[in-house]
Amino acid sequence: MPAPVPPAFLPLRSGRTVLALLASVLLVLGAACSSGPAALAASTASAPPTVRPGTAVAPGLEHLGPCADPALASFSCGLLRVPLDHERTAGATLALPVTVQKGPASDPVLLNLTGGPGQPGVAFAPRFAQRLAPALNGRRLVMLDQRGTGATAISCPGLQREMGEGDLLTPTAASVRECSGILGATRPFYGTQDTVQDLELLRRALRVRTMTVDGTSYGSYVAERYAVTYPHAVDHLILDSVVPHQWMPQDSLSLTSMVAVRRVLRDVCTAQQCPGDPVADLATLVSRGYDGPALLNLLAIVSVIRPSFDFVPGMLHDAVNGNDGLLQGWLQGVAAEAPVAEFSQGLHAATLCMDQVEPWGDSDTPFAAREAALQRVRSTLTAQQVYPFDVDTATDNGLVQLCRSWGVTTPDRVSHKRNLPPVPTLFLAGDRDLSTPLEWASREFRRAPHGEVLVVRGAGHSLQSRGAEHPEIIERVTAFLGRP
């Protein structure tokens, strides 16, 4: 999931209010992204990102100098040229925008990785620099547009329209096939391990021995995979809203998220008086034919932008009793299309379908075997596993259906190490996060030899963006990093 900055919210009164409110959220996020060089250079054509034929890539930052965006006055901007195919370094290349906070070259580096997959990085640098200022004291913040985002955004119009900024809305098979075809022969070059290799070229270009790597949501997964691949290049890891580095088939089925929905909604009703049982109300709506993946996607988005969930029990109870205007407003609002420069659903699909272990296995599984495996899963899932949703929610959600129709692709060559390297690792988790549930952080924490964890009660997704509401978060990050 992307990790937007939660805005201030007005009271919710109707579906119309929700649509206007969510439109304002997109405008806030759009303004943040469109002001950066990544968005200004982003391609919106229905084609793969522009690649340039070239000679062997030598680590280095091209054109590093003043940034065109006044918001980046305290940064230098440049391009990191990387091979499209890291196994053929003399082939085509991509130019990834990078921004480096000004300071002595001897200062250590904190590399911050945004989420998605599909979200750019450069345009968010001023915000992160402001929020993390106490922790950055004596460190240089570095951010980049990961391949396939921002200036190298993969544009797939059908997916962009159908999936908004979410993971779980169900796309049509036609839009998935369209996107897979747009990428064509370049499809194998947008997995996480390709980004990991880009980050190693960035470290060498910065001429630093090690980096602190700070990742949020999908960025935490990239950070973990980088640390597993290059353990001696990392001095600290900060994992915010954690995605485990070993993906399991049940993760694509969203079974852990369904468990978390039950936990979070019941916790909400412990903190406030609810008009009914929101878990039972949710189950009733699903049984009446409401789209389960869309409802689960909605709750995940709420955990990003309004983790109090204060209006959710009433909204679900009203819908059960025939007044679903507010619910329909939210369902429409969270499905709104996002500009490709702010979130590329094409990159999202290309990466997830190479990285995820689906019920049928890896991305090179033939289509017929995918169908057979999915039918086997449908026959074995129990009502208890998916409650308050249904089996269709597990097998028809976007994480599964996106990759069901994605072209057969050779999967990434990744390390199968079970544990993270023995470097200091800080886990940040909100107990109301339904995008990357607390249960995922607990699972990954068990894989960290030198891990410590901060669970923030009542908080949702992307904790470092919530420092104003929860000052203990930045205080803990600052104490964890210490003086460089």
Find, among 444, 391, 456, the residue nearest to 224 by Cα: 444
Residue 21 is assigned to a structural domain of this protein? no
21-35, 226-240, 428-442, range with the lowest pLDDT: 21-35
Residue 222 is assigned to a structural domain of this protein? yes
* More confidently predicted of 422 and 466: 422
> Which residue range is the domain that position 291 belongs to?
56-484
Q: Is 185 exposed, middle or buried (0-12, 13-18, 19+ CB in 10 A)?
A: exposed
Residue 16 is assigned to a structural domain of this protein? no
pLDDT score recorded for residue 343: 94
Distance CA 396, CA 293 (A): 7
Distance CA 331, CA 342 (A): 21
pLDDT in tens, 199-230: 999 999 999 999 999 999 999 999 999 999 99
Whether 454 and 260 have beta carbons less than 8 Å apart is answered as no
Distances (CA, A) of 102 to 72, 365, 409, 429: 10, 47, 41, 30
**What does DSSP say about strands 109-113 and 93-101: parallel, antiparallel, or unpaired?**
unpaired
Residue 112 is assigned to a structural domain of this protein? yes
Whether 164 and 334 have beta carbons less than 8 Å apart is answered as yes
Distances (CA, A) of 394 to 9, 180, 253: 31, 23, 5
Residue 348 is assigned to a structural domain of this protein? yes
* More confidently predicted of 91 and 68: 68
Residue 109 is assigned to a structural domain of this protein? yes
pLDDT score of 298 more than 60? yes
Task: Give backbone dihedrals phi and psi of 215, rounded to 5 degrees, phi first.
Answer: -125, 140
pLDDT score of 41 more than 50? no
Neighbours of 65 (CB within 10 A): 9
Q: What is the 3-state secondary structure (H, E, C) of the chain?
A: CCCCCCCCCCCCCCHHHHHHHHHHHHHHHHHHHHCCHHHHHCCCCCCCCCCECCCCCCCCEEEEEECCCHHHCCEEEEEEEEECCCCCCCCCEEEEEEEEECCCCCCCEEEEECCCCCCCCHHHHHHHHHHCHHHHCCCEEEEECCCCCHHHCCCCHHHHHHHCCCCCCCCCHHHHHHHHHHHHHHHHHCCHHHHHHHHHHHHHHHCCCCEEEEEECHHHHHHHHHHHHCHHHEEEEEEECCCCCCCCHHHHCCHHHHHHHHHHHHHHHHHCCCCCCHHHHHHHHHHCCCCHHHHHHHHHHHHHHCCCCCCHHHHHHHHHCCCCHHHHHHHHHHCCCCCCCCCCHHHHHHHHHHHCCECCECCCCCHHHHHHHHHHHHHHCCHHHHCCCCHHHHHCCHHHHHHHCCCCCCCCCCCCCCCCCCCCEEEEEECCCCCCCHHHHHHHHCCCCCEEEEEECCCCCCHHHHCCCCCHHHHHHHHHHCCC
Question: Which residue type occupies 66?
Answer: P
26-40, 317-331, 415-429, 430-444, range with the lowest pLDDT: 26-40
**Which residue, chain included where needed, has tokens 């913040």?**
141
Q: How many domains does the chain divide into?
A: 1
pLDDT score of 40 more than 90? no
Q: pLDDT band for position 484 (50/70/90)?
A: confident
Distance CA 39, CA 247 (A): 31
Whether 463 and 241 have beta carbons less than 8 Å apart is answered as yes
pLDDT in tens, 222-269: 999 999 999 999 999 999 999 999 988 889 999 999 999 999 999 999
Find, among 475, 433, 426, the residue nearest to 132 by Cα: 475
Residue 51 is assigned to a structural domain of this protein? no
Residue 368 is assigned to a structural domain of this protein? yes
Whether 150 and 42 have beta carbons less than 8 Å apart is answered as yes
Q: Write the CATH number for 432.
A: 3.40.50.1820
Find, among 36, 29, 34, 31, the residue nearest to 6 by Cα: 29
pLDDT score recorded for residue 416: 76
pLDDT score of 335 more than 90? no
Q: pLDDT band for position 321 (50/70/90)?
A: very high
Q: Is 289 exposed, middle or buried (0-12, 13-18, 19+ CB in 10 A)?
A: exposed
**What does DSSP say about strands 425-430 and 451-456: parallel, antiparallel, or unpaired?**
parallel
Q: pLDDT band for position 26 (50/70/90)?
A: very low
pTM equals 0.89
Most confident of 47-61, 76-90, 267-281: 267-281
pLDDT score of 14 more than 80? no
